[in-house]
Structure 1
């Protein structure tokens, strides 16, 4: 990977396809590394720890929001898209981070929250003054019904109506999340132009791409029609707990609008001259795969999306894996997913799926072998379980709102543990913004570096295996076949690999396709083949290459 100098900054050589099959490591900046002792992670801390990400074998990092913000939703409420919040450092710190990442061969993606801003953003402060100011139409405003109630039945993911009354304009404004996060009006062309300029600002600063938060929420139905009810048996949405009435609606008017496709084409046109890429978060449990297919097919919209199929509470079984890939193939054969098991909004998957150590290794190997790009969430490579926090320790407004039935997202956001012999895990010399829980300390990076059988080293081996076999990054993938708890598939390209995974805690067998095969991936526990069949122990794996 060539690194070049560009306008005083280190930049990677332009490769328009760098994203295809890439391993993207998500960094939640508040919790990665604190460099100044205030208990909150920052950009300088990320820079200091990038060696860990490079050693892991990632191709890129995705940094969750670090923009200027009142932090009501911990950075996902932006008050200045082109500024760094002092909590995280400065633009100079960001430039240093990009230079260090590029020097290590890592691409840098940043999290753009375009569907909404903070109510402290200058755009909204102007918009709410009256109905005749220059930015009056920059947000979704609506008159009340004759009885004073909101214009329709839309609900907020964070609970309650998605409409907040504003006495100055005597209108309601839309907020799909907190009331302090008003939704932008994408039907207004100046809004789109301003957001595209934000993307250009960061691209010129050296970023290699974006993670687009809530990509399917950009447009709302201009007629503000009511959402229909959702049958109870379909209420399995991972972006909102069942105790949230948001799950009682079929969200066909407040998101997923067809106008979004043209905006994504405009966004792609901004990306292409820079060789940059975007991955969109598709928040929809019912149509996530189909929306992903719409947004990533054709080569003129975003390159990747990640749906929520592998972020659900129910464990990813062989049959669910088969069904997921069959649906995706039916929606659009050229759709490009970005798979992940964990992120900052979900319970960590080793807890969510109750995985023993052997199972965590198998799922890591499976992820490395799937067609698509992949995202790893910080601490996933350590096998960190969800941290158990009390109500008094929570900072997440979502968790506080629905406690105790839903404990929120803070359990997945506690600090990284770098060393074991430190109460804060080496994260900070001050009091961390969220506590480091004792069960995490023995799983530290330092401890696992010394253990030849650790999960961390397994992740390194799995990602090295993916890199050593380019067919896993860019090759074709035949339909997944599920036989009981065993999932298997072929990857085809310059080489041919057969991959089989026992996703259960009982021994099983899998038949190899006809032909001569030789075992690869012994370092990942790949089982030997004999007579065309492979015996797989609980959570066993077989990886073979056509001879």
Structure 2
């Protein structure tokens, strides 16, 4: 029997920004439950909840202080159970963000670990002595600026942190840590959860010899906050021991029915595709993985093709998840605006293209509204990298502003209180009630394309064969059972014309015209062509 997740469309919910039910300006679990009908109306299969566990919220929940409870900001365990029950009534699976590589410095494990070098949890985190001159043990960088090491005067040692200094890394070389983490995952599976999104899945293990990384050979620094690109990150992450832990985690999930794990590979480019392949190979590691390969500024037929073909070649028995936006990157409608006739044109094209990709598909809340990045001033920011490195870095707040539900309501229906991030006019123009009432809106387009994908054997199960066409055209054929579809996308603002060497029929949502055997794609145009025999495409 084919697993549910292989054909799934997963909808990411950022709980702080989805729906506030109690009026404190921060979204919560009751608010999510109230709005699940909207999510179900899209035709998606699963929701992914960003972190909802107790946390000091210094990195918006990615600094967990208790793995087996709900942060009071979001509600209670009873609220969580009610959300699960309602989602299941609507036919939606639920997965949560599991932040396993590091904790908050306020987690009881760390408060005990830092007390001394010989207590029961002294080796639960990555501690190391200073070098003879007092400097950090290695040259590894933190993603949020500065060294990946923080000196703790109580122990007289440094501890490792890949992100904020308040997010110390766990020591996965310690079997007790591994067992404790597995127990926390079991807690949520026993509560009815359908799986996990694993944050920073290639960061679990570090090099025990504490070797410094060599300089990068091919990639320059790309962000003021992120010096990772200045190094070949050989020793601080993506260590071979990671695979053994993933196998233990898979063995746990295999004890339950219909569980899925998707890992976030913290890399970009070709390396990320190779890691995705390694981490999903066979049947005893992750069910699927995604990387930042399609979450960056790269936007060309060659780029999208190389990502998909790279995964096909590197993991012929693996399974990918593809997304264009999430809570960590600028919204793709704004990110790729230079290639768009308009924001709405980009929203439609990217939806049509993403839903045609082979693998599992992820969309981020508001994406179905064609939502654009919110422009914020410094005084409105909450994101640590932006606060530290403004104006060189705008941070992630611009993609995290609240969902807009009702155009004429206070704060667009998100909250009766003051929202934790502002709700601004350009976003309010795309409110759910406004788009729901407009027959040809982006919202209805998403529903139609998702329904088309789910009803198509080719798009859910077909293998992908790319067609050589010149830039700016991306084209591929997907075939399954008795259906063959050729999918063609114009990644530019300019009209494109293609001649077919045989007959075909336009099917599904599209904005192209087919006259005889001549296909016209307007700027940001797209077409799904159904045909029986081989089909060649010729450009002028």
TM-score by length of 1: 0.93
2:93 to 92, 107, 115: 107
Seen in structure 2, the aligned counterparts of structure 1 residues 529 and 291 have a Cα distance that, compared at 3 Å, is farther
Mapping for residues 271-282 of structure 1, pairs under 5 Å:
271-274=253-256, 275-282=258-265
Structure 2 CA distance for aligned equivalents of residues 242 and 229 of structure 1: 17
Equivalent residue, structure 2, for 1:334 = 317
Structure 2 CA distance for aligned equivalents of residues 334 and 480 of structure 1: 22
Does the 8 Å contact 1:159/1:246 carry over to 2? no
Q: Does 1:384 align with 2:366?
A: no
Deviations along 1:372-392, one digit per CA (max 9) or x if unpaired, are 111100011111111111111
Equivalent residue, structure 1, for 2:240 = 258
Structure 1 CA distance for aligned equivalents of residues 185 and 319 of structure 2: 22
Equivalent residue, structure 1, for 2:171 = 185
Does the 8 Å contact 2:301/2:473 carry over to 1? yes
Structure 2 CA distance for aligned equivalents of residues 511 and 200 of structure 1: 56
Equivalent residue, structure 1, for 2:519 = 534
Deviation at 1:175, TM superposition (A): 0.2
Mapping for residues 10-89 of structure 1, pairs under 5 Å:
17-89=3-75
Equivalent residue, structure 1, for 2:297 = 313
Deviations along 1:115-141, one digit per CA (max 9) or x if unpaired, are 000000011111111111111111101
Structure 2 CA distance for aligned equivalents of residues 483 and 530 of structure 1: 22
Structure 1 CA distance for aligned equivalents of residues 254 and 247 of structure 2: 11
Deviation at 1:174, TM superposition (A): 0.2
Structure 2 CA distance for aligned equivalents of residues 16 and 326 of structure 1: 23
**Unaligned 5+ runs, structure 1:** 1-14
Deviations along 1:482-503, one digit per CA (max 9) or x if unpaired, are 4221111111111211111111
Does the 8 Å contact 2:143/2:226 carry over to 1? yes
Mapping for residues 81-480 of structure 1, pairs under 5 Å:
81-231=67-217, 234-235=219-220, 241-242=223-224, 244-274=226-256, 275-286=258-269, 287-314=271-298, 316-354=299-337, 355=340, 356=342, 357-479=344-466
1:323 partner SS: helix
Structure 2 CA distance for aligned equivalents of residues 489 and 90 of structure 1: 47
Deviation at 1:422, TM superposition (A): 2.2
Q: Does 1:544 align with 2:529?
A: yes
Deviation at 1:272, TM superposition (A): 1.6
Deviation at 1:524, TM superposition (A): 3.3
Seen in structure 2, the aligned counterparts of structure 1 residues 52 and 334 have a Cα distance that, compared at 3 Å, is same
2:351 partner SS: helix
Equivalent residue, structure 2, for 1:524 = 510
Structure 2 CA distance for aligned equivalents of residues 242 and 230 of structure 1: 16
Deviation at 1:85, TM superposition (A): 0.5
Aligned length: 525
Seen in structure 2, the aligned counterparts of structure 1 residues 480 and 130 have a Cα distance that, compared at 3 Å, is farther
Deviation at 1:78, TM superposition (A): 0.2
1:195 partner SS: helix
Deviation at 1:254, TM superposition (A): 0.4
Does the 8 Å contact 1:129/1:168 carry over to 2? yes
1:299 partner SS: coil
Q: Does 1:497 align with 2:490?
A: no
1:528 partner SS: strand
Does the 8 Å contact 1:486/1:510 carry over to 2? no
Q: Which moved more, 1:125-134 or 1:104-113?
A: 125-134
Seen in structure 2, the aligned counterparts of structure 1 residues 127 and 444 have a Cα distance that, compared at 3 Å, is same
Deviations along 1:326-353, one digit per CA (max 9) or x if unpaired, are 3222322223111111110101111111
Deviations along 1:138-174, one digit per CA (max 9) or x if unpaired, are 1101111111111010110000000011112111100
Seen in structure 2, the aligned counterparts of structure 1 residues 391 and 235 have a Cα distance that, compared at 3 Å, is same
